[in-house]
Each structure stands twice: as structure tokens, then as C-alpha cells.
Structure 1
Amino acid sequence: MDQAVGWQSPYFPKIFERYDRADFAQEFLRRSPAYRSSYAAAAAAPGADRARLFRRLASRWGLVFRLRS
């Protein structure tokens, strides 16, 4: 099992050496309580409400959600 590297570890900066802008954006969103709450609400909503909430979420955070087939 992999263990998380503490931020005070000398290895911590190495984690981010290969990150591009999309990786940093994903990390930001993953750690944002506001985004996580909005995403959870959209994911739990039924039918048309779900689509509307995901459109609103995408607009607010500048995202594009790929459609699943």
C-alpha cells in the first residue's frame, strides 16, 4: 500500500515536477470544499436536474464534462 508523503518531506516537491496545468487544476478542485460540495450535489440529483446542475458546475469552474456513451 502506498503511503502519502508528508508536505515536510524532502520528497514532497518531487511529486509535482511532472505536473502540467491540468494536473494542478485537478489538484485544486479535488481539495476545494466548494467544488466537492457542488459536484456531490450535481451527481446526486435526478435526471434533468442533474444535467442542469452539471452545466452550472461546468460554467462556474470552467470545466468540460465528456459525455459517456
Structure 2
Amino acid sequence: METIKLTETELAVLNVIKEKPLTSFQILKQIDSINMILVLYSIMDELKGKGMVKSFVSDNVKYHCAC
């Protein structure tokens, strides 16, 4: 079994969205170490590639949740 290594910022994002799905803006407001939305999008892409995050759309709003 392969161990997945996560950065502190990736762990922070996962900890924020593990309780309930949030929008990108809600995640950005809760994590002080991420100050730009493009940085958050890069982190989300990395986490999706590792199979740790899923996204869905509800009422035309995109939410992210931990798998």
C-alpha cells in the first residue's frame, strides 16, 4: 500500500472540508496560509489527483468535500 504525502496546506484544506462541503471562497476565508484563490485551486487540483477531494454542483454553486 502506498503512503500519500500531504503538505501542511493540503492537510489544512482537508481538515476544513471534512466536516461539511464548502465553496472555494468559504475554504479560502478559513485558511490564513492561503491568500489567493488561484493557490487554492492548485491545491484542490493536487488533492483531486490524489483522490482525496471531490466536487459537486448544487443550485449552481460548486462545493468541495473530502473523500
Q: Same fold (TM over 0.5)?
A: no
- Structure with bigger strand share is 2
The structure with higher relative contact order (CA 8 Å, sep 6+) is 2
TM-score, reference length from structure 1 = 0.33
Which structure has more helix as a fraction of its residues?
Answer: 1
